[in-house]
Chain A
Amino acid sequence: MDIAQERDGEVVIVRLKGRLDSIAAPAVEEALSRALGGVPPRLAIDMDGLDYISSAGLRVLLVLAKKVQQAKGKVTLCGLKPNVRDVFTVSGFDTIFSIHVDPASAVAAAR
């Protein structure tokens, strides 16, 4: 699992590449926690390189969403591949995340 991070103004962009499963979950959770530094936190997660997400990966995102909500921040997602999008639809995670087509719109929505 590759995790890259950059900043666009007040928004932290995290790019995930590979498989977000129980093996990768701890590292992703740590990286996302570090990205929550802003007050309030503003995150855009680019999942264009994400090939797979499991239940453990969903838990990481849920914990992140809860932290962001408590801090009155914003988190947006973009670039979901069809199989990843299916998991979000079936699990109802598409109802708690703002999902966008590309990084530009995800960053704009996170501002």
Chain B
Amino acid sequence: MLSFAEEIVLLLLDEAEGTFVPVPESVFGVVVVGAALMDLAIHNRVDADLEQLMVVDGTPLGDDILDDVLRRLGKPAGDLKITQAIYDTIPYVEEYKSRALARLLAHGILREENGRHLWVFRTRRYPVIDNAEQHEVRTRLRQILLTDEIPDPRDIALICLIDACHLLAFVLSPEEIEAAKSRVEQLRKMDLIGQAVVKSASEVQAIIRYAASSL
């Protein structure tokens, strides 16, 4: 199973061009760090409430992205605001992106060509790791977004990350996005770290808009 950071890096790659879709670097940073924090929560390394993020177990997981984020968060029982944890970790995102890409290359999901990362289209040569996994994720997320089915925690985390970068169009048609507005609103509240990721991404985008309008 891919980590959330790998999932989101993969999702942000344009399938045809092999380049990243145009998401502001700072928003990309928020989302990648948020992905790592949500993975750490799933692995019971961090916990959160309405006020703060707590490191509850500093034991490394053997994942060079998650372990680095965990180490930077501080000692177990150290408490900090979720948004602060995100902003403090953003400077290291380029390294995490490189590591996630390296793993996707190692898994055979991507190949590198002339310095560019491209999807491997000959998926039948890689029966274990191919685009079917991504297709299944999108199908499952559509099912959650378009019905009243109760999601599992991984689904909610992915929906928060996708929504934070305004990439619901990767999963739903424009008509479906309009129809699912209240459902998206409901789902993105259901993970406390995910809420902070969406909020931080919105704040960053507001700052970018303000800066652009001031030029």
Contact = CB atoms under 8 A, between A and B. Distances in A.
Given A55-B41, A65-B150, A90 B193 contact: no
Given A21-B47, A22-B44, A95-B186, A62 B192 contact: no
Contacts of B18: none
Chain A, interface residues (CB within 8 Å), range: 20 to 34
Interface string A37-66: 000000000000000111110110011011
A53 B41 CA distance: 14
Given A62-B153, A66-B151, A56 B190 contact: no
B152 A66 contact: yes
Interface residues of B, number: 24
A69 B144 CA distance: 13
A86 interface: yes
Contacts of B189: 90-92
B190 A62 contact: yes
Contacts of B156: 62
Nearest to B41: A55
A32 to B, nearest CB: 14
Contacts of B50: 86-87, 90
Interface in B40-63: 41-42, 44, 47-50, 54, 56-57
Contacts of A58: 190, 192
